[in-house]
Amino acid sequence: MKKIVLFGAGGFARETAYLIERINNVRAAYELLGFIVDDDYYRDGLEINGYPVLGTRQWLIAHKNEVVCTCAIGEPGPREAIQEELEQKGIQFETLISPDVELHSTVKVGAGSVIAHGVMMTVNIKIGKGVVINGCTTLGHDAEVGDYACVMGGCGLAGYVKIGRRVKIGGHAFIVPHITVEDDAVIAAGSAVFAKVKRERRVLGNPARRFEL
């Protein structure tokens, strides 16, 4: 049984703790020790859903030979910064996959990614490191999801879709086959994407069109 900690203590961290509990209900894979937070958020004695906040990244570095870690922060940019920094310091990042998700032998998933319950994937799919794929999302054959992207619940990525690094896709969005979404783009919830989305562009609607906040 691996000892694991989660970096972050917000809503997605609580969901990820629940995912670990679900994995353990099927097989005793992890001992969840608790949460790691940045200095500004640490308080002695703080507990979240029955798990303690253990300390800051200094605690994690001091225990790097004893534990594995998953970054449980939803925002792609901070998640990338945290995982990249801590990997350089020797922290091992663990991939968490819901026990109800079937992975074909041709599906590749990078370190530190989180794949939630109800996700359906077929064949020849590539998922980068530090990726979040939330519940009930579907990925068609030959889809690619770049490092640190976040795909929210109920999305559909059709065959040959290519998602760049740090892309955010809101819940129940759909992307038709062969579409590329470049790095740092944002697709709003419920959008239907029929054309390439350029780097850092935000799109919304059906059909999805560019918008600015």
CA 129, 73, 118, 19 torsion: positive or negative?
A: positive
Annotation says 141 is catalytic:
yes
pLDDT of residue 30: 99
The whole-angstrom separation of Cα 86 and Cα 71 is 10
Q: Give DSSP secondary structure letters for 153-183.
A: TT-EE-TT-EE-TT-EE-TT-EE-TT-EE-T
Percent of the chain beyond pLDDT 70?
A: 100
| Average pLDDT over every residue of 90-94 | 98
- pLDDT band for 164, please (50, 70, 90 cuts): very high
Helix (H, G, I), strand (E, B) or coil at 127: strand
Chain-wide mean pLDDT for the chain?
A: 97
61 vs 72: CA distance, rounded Å:
17
Which pLDDT belongs to residue 213?
66
If you ran DSSP here, which 8-state letter would residue 39 be given?
G
pLDDT band at 83 (very low <50, low <70, confident <90, very high): very high
- Edge-to-edge order in the sheet of strand 209-210: 96-97, 114-115, 132-133, 150-151, 168-169, 186-187, 202-204, 209-210
Residue 104: pLDDT over 80: yes
For residue 158, which of 189, 132, 122 has the smallest C-alpha distance? 122
What CATH code is assigned to 2-94?
Answer: 3.40.50.20
How confident is the model at residue 148, as a pLDDT? 99
Please answer whether residues 83 and 6 qualify as being in contact, where contact means their C-beta atoms are separated by less than 8 angstroms: no
pLDDT at residue 205 is higher than 70? yes
Q: Categorize the per-residue pLDDT at 42 as very low, low, confident or very high, splitting at 50, 70 and 90.
A: confident
The residue extents of the domains of the chain are: 2-94, 96-200
The pLDDT of residue 40 is 85
DSSP 10: S
155's tokens: 């999305």
pLDDT of 36 higher than 70: yes
pTM: 0.95
Q: Which CATH class is domain 96-200?
A: mainly beta
| pLDDT at residue number 112 | 99
Q: What is the arithmetic mean of pLDDT over 139-147?
A: 99
Given the residues 63, 117, 141, 172, the one annotated as active site: 141
What tens digit of pLDDT does each residue of 13-27 get?
Answer: 999 999 999 999 999
What would the pLDDT profile of 62-75 be if each residue is shown by its tens digit? 999 999 999 999 99
Token pair 């041709």 is found at: 106
Tally of CB atoms within 10 A around 19: 23
- Calculate mean pLDDT across residues 96-100: 98
Binding residues: 74
Binding site listing for substrate: 74
Q: Which residue did the predictor score with more confidence, 45 or 187?
A: 187
